[in-house]
Structure 1
Amino acid sequence: MTAAVETRTFDRRLIVPLVLGAVLNPINSSMLAVALVPIGLTFHAVPAQTAWLVSALYLATATGQPVVGRLVDRYGARRLYLAGTALVGVAGVIGALAPSLSFLIVSRVLLGLGTCAGYPAAMYLIRRSGVEKPGGLLTALNVSAQTIVVIGPTLGGLLIGAAGWRALFAVNIPLAVACLVLGAILLPRHDGDTEFEHRLDHLGIGLFAGTLTALMLFLMSPAIGHLWLLALTVLLAAGFVGRELRYADPFLDVRVFGGNLPLITTYVRTLLAMTVSYAYLYGFTQWLEAGRGLSASHAGLILLPMSLVAITVSTITGRRAEFRGKLLVGAISQVVACALMLVLNSTSALWIPIVISIIFGLPQGLNSLANQNAVYFQADPDRMGASAGLLRTFAYLGAMVSSAATGAFFKDGADTAGLHDLAIFLIVTAGLLLVVVLADRSLRRIGGAPVTKGSPA
């Protein structure tokens, strides 16, 4: 009865600041794609150095999302949202005035940390509002992020043409101000706890951050000489699990996550799906330019149908509670699209990569939306922020795996042979995703009203 009242009185004005906060990360991820070359020219940096501008954001965001999400669970969305967006503004100033590449990397790290609050805060407030059918709200988050990914490179190019690459950092200043004003006016002031029986699990957070940082540093540059990073990952992970099992109010309750197999499976699906997605976005694009001989603008146009299909599919299916069907179509589409990559060569007709782009639009629109919605229903309500943050962490882990795979298969250049090897790897990965979806019987049972505190799971 209470949930029904809260659903009727949900303040729709919250959608604007929540969506704006949630898209700060994809804005900064997508716009930079067209800025690496001019930044390199400004600071006389080689691609291996400017690549850290991308990796720094991924590393900070993947590590920070669940940490900030847990802080949202504990202290409420308003405080973290305002603090995060303020940090985005500071990062924008540093980037706009940066005298060296090192300062730009610091700016990107701060952007990664600052943008960590938007998505967990949105998921937290939507769940806390008591919305029984959140499909429209969750679709708005997903579609807005996909739209930003589509227009990000174009917007970045326009800003660079008008005011130089520093404009890509400076644009965060007015965005942060807008978030601060809207957040201060609209976000509820008392949405978190005020008294805590136990102190925040600082050691657990530190061990988690260290574990993930060591793992992602290895994935960014996998080599025999870097195996010590994997050993460090295992050591820190063991310490983290031991700490969380003993602490009364752990940062991540491994007992809860260990006993919530459907949620763990959703994270695994996200890792597999995003590995294929990122490898296509960055690996296939490299081949279009180096292997097929297209210009950067033409390669971007070939990817455009994928983005348009993804947005259309998300918009049409977003309100439907069906999960298994969406994920099955998404996984099968990835297998088919990756298999078609095997027929490509340097003289292939352009309609073939366009068809592949269209097919890839289906999983782009279905997988991330279905997994995001699944977390909403599967996660412990008291840990919604941390659970939503972990979803983004596994997505970025997929990005790192795809980066490592692309680097390995394109070590001699983005040629057709490397593309075919990458395609085989992606077919196997998408096939594993399909197996995981088929084996997960819990997908048939989710989609009703979310579990609330005190109700049976």
Structure 2
Amino acid sequence: MSVRSRWLMISVGLGVLLNPLNSSMISIAIARLQNVYSLDFTAVSWIIFSFYIASAVAQPVMGKASDLFGRRKIFLSGLVISFVASLLAPLSPNFGWLIVFRIVQSIGTSMIVSVGMAIVRIHITEKQATALSVLSIFLSGAAAIGPFIGGVLIHWWDWPAIFLVNIPFVVTSFLLAWRNIPKDEPPTSVAQGMSFRKWFELIDATGVLLFTIGLVALLVGLLSAKSSGHISFRHVIIGSIGLVSLGVFVRHELKAKSPFIPLRTFAKYPAMTWVNVEFILVNLLFYSLFFGLPSYLQMVRHVSEFHTGILMLSLGLCSLVVSPLAGRWIDKSGPRPALLVSGILMTLGSVWIVTLNETSPVISVCLALAAFGISNGLNNVGMQTALFRSSPKEIIGVASGVFMTSRYLGTILSSLLLGIVMGDKFSAGGFRLLGVILTVIALSLVFMSWRHRDSHPSQES
């Protein structure tokens, strides 16, 4: 790999790590934000919802935008937006403004991620597989060490530091990207002559709007009812608006020429559909622990942010170590054995959560974290391989986009589950109930993996 290619890799890598870093650091900050803004757990969980809903919408939209306006422009614009959001978030006068800046940050980092991989594919032609694997290390590594970094920063400098820490990454990435990412090709005549109406049709603006309104309204209705302790007429109306919007969204997507979520593809390729359903459940289970355990440690066990970050590091490191080993295993045996072992480990980890009490040694939490970390490493490779095997080559790009949407849906559902189970206060009893629910989900994944059959695109297309 040439020197210029290496610098290009570094500039893109420093940018793309911002999304997973910020989505993982926040897990340590939830308890602190709850105290600072005097909020219950249900309300503060919107710091998670907002980021993932915005990412689910922004990444596919910005991917399409880059084809028209240029990947370099989108990448650099994303860095500027991330810089502004990271600078202003610590100055938020209230929690509402913090959510706004969190959404802006999600959009900016999503712009970077949506084009980062494409920039590497296009401009690094020698040893491309190595380059892509290095980029994945930036992504997975940032997610793995995010809770540890968050714990250290909050322990020494309080919660604003988890936003300010982005600034050196953003500035360095911008300066290197400005110098090393080649300028975009002139826009095609199609892009130059495209009207706003055509552009809205291309990104399926109607579908995006219906999806966002439906999801947000449904979440507000459910979580408001849980937080208040009773179901009022207002909660029913808001929840109904969400359900109706999602129903209209489904109808619209079935007719749209360029759908935001290609629902017809699910009906046409059932094997691919089941992979995505399984992936939603995997992320629901994993992120329920990822966001729930730090709050349990800090609010119930009174563990410091610093030590919580150290404990969470065991999860990330197990995942990083297992991923390359899982790749070799899956290359030889296919995804089914790895996914089955992953389901068993998640079941054991979930059962272990149920057995925890307020006198259990804190170090014993590492056993559950190790089980989930190893299973996450197996899932990272196994689910991706299962997707490729179940998806015909001609729609692999669409399949990858749907796969990412499934990840975000699973993460959003994990936050919803935490909000419903915990309500206004994180408790030991609530955490044990969460463990019971996660055990049921893990057993479902074991059953699905046991019944899984490796499918080949050629047989389905």
Instruction: Identify if the C-alpha distance between structure 1 residues 265 and 86 changes in structure 2 by more than 3 Å, giving closer, same or farther.
Output: farther
Q: TM-score, normalization: structure 2?
A: 0.78
Does the CA-based 8 Å contact 2:353-2:432 persist in structure 1?
Answer: yes
2:380 maps to which of 351, 368, 382: 368
Quote the Cα distance in structure 2 between the aligned partners of 1:407 and 1:50. Answer: 9
Instruction: Identify if the C-alpha distance between structure 1 residues 35 and 138 changes in structure 2 by more than 3 Å, giving closer, same or farther.
Output: same
Quote the Cα distance in structure 2 between the aligned partners of 1:137 and 1:266. Answer: 27
Does the CA-based 8 Å contact 1:214-1:229 persist in structure 2?
Answer: no
Quote the Cα distance in structure 2 between the aligned partners of 1:77 and 1:387. Answer: 21
Quote the Cα distance in structure 1 between the aligned partners of 2:447 and 2:51. Answer: 32
Quote the Cα distance in structure 1 between the aligned partners of 2:344 and 2:237. Answer: 37
Quote the Cα distance in structure 2 between the aligned partners of 1:303 and 1:93. Answer: 27
TM-superposed CA distance for 1:422, in Å, is 1.5
1:46-445 to structure 2, matched below 5 A, reads: 46-47=39-40, 50-72=44-66, 77-125=71-119, 139-159=133-153, 165-190=159-184, 194-196=188-190, 199-202=198-201, 204-219=204-219, 221-222=222-223, 223=225, 224-225=231-232, 226-292=235-301, 294-318=303-327, 321=331, 322-350=334-362, 352-372=364-384, 388-411=400-423, 413-442=425-454, 445=456
Quote the Cα distance in structure 2 between the aligned partners of 1:382 and 1:21. Answer: 30
CA RMSD of aligned residues (A): 4.0
User: What residue is the counterpart of 1:4 in the other structure?
Assistant: none
TM-superposed CA distance for 1:272, in Å, is 0.5
Q: What code does the residue aligned with 1:86 have? A: V
Quote the Cα distance in structure 2 between the aligned partners of 1:366 and 1:192. Answer: 42
The runs of 5 or more residues in structure 1 that have no matched partner are: 1-6
Quote the Cα distance in structure 1 between the aligned partners of 2:397 and 2:14. Answer: 17
Per mean C-alpha deviation after superposition, the further-off stretch among 371-380 and 234-243 is: 371-380
Identity %: 27
**Higher-helix-fraction structure:** 2
Does the CA-based 8 Å contact 1:70-1:251 persist in structure 2?
Answer: no
Quote the Cα distance in structure 1 between the aligned partners of 2:150 and 2:299. Answer: 22
Can you list the C-alpha shifts for 1:166-202, whole angstroms capped at 9, x where unaligned? Answer: 4433333333333333333444545797344972244
**In structure 1, the residue corresponding to 2:199 is in which secondary structure?**
coil
Q: What code does the residue aligned with 1:77 have? A: R
Instruction: Identify if the C-alpha distance between structure 1 residues 249 and 394 changes in structure 2 by more than 3 Å, giving closer, same or farther.
Output: closer
Quote the Cα distance in structure 2 between the aligned partners of 1:342 and 1:248. Answer: 48
Per mean C-alpha deviation after superposition, the further-off stretch among 62-71 and 306-315 is: 62-71
Does the CA-based 8 Å contact 1:95-1:104 persist in structure 2?
Answer: yes
1:30-45 to structure 2, matched below 5 A, reads: 30-35=24-29, 45=38
Q: What code does the residue aligned with 1:331 have? A: G
Quote the Cα distance in structure 2 between the aligned partners of 1:310 and 1:93. Answer: 31
Instruction: Identify if the C-alpha distance between structure 1 residues 118 and 314 changes in structure 2 by more than 3 Å, giving closer, same or farther.
Output: farther
Q: What code does the residue aligned with 2:368 have? A: I
State the aligned residue count.
Answer: 440
Does the CA-based 8 Å contact 1:267-1:394 persist in structure 2?
Answer: yes
Instruction: Identify if the C-alpha distance between structure 1 residues 177 and 353 changes in structure 2 by more than 3 Å, giving closer, same or farther.
Output: closer
Instruction: Identify if the C-alpha distance between structure 1 residues 256 and 32 changes in structure 2 by more than 3 Å, giving closer, same or farther.
Output: closer
Q: What code does the residue aligned with 1:311 have? A: L
Instruction: Identify if the C-alpha distance between structure 1 residues 253 and 14 changes in structure 2 by more than 3 Å, giving closer, same or farther.
Output: farther
Q: What code does the residue aligned with 1:46 have? A: L
TM-superposed CA distance for 1:287, in Å, is 3.4
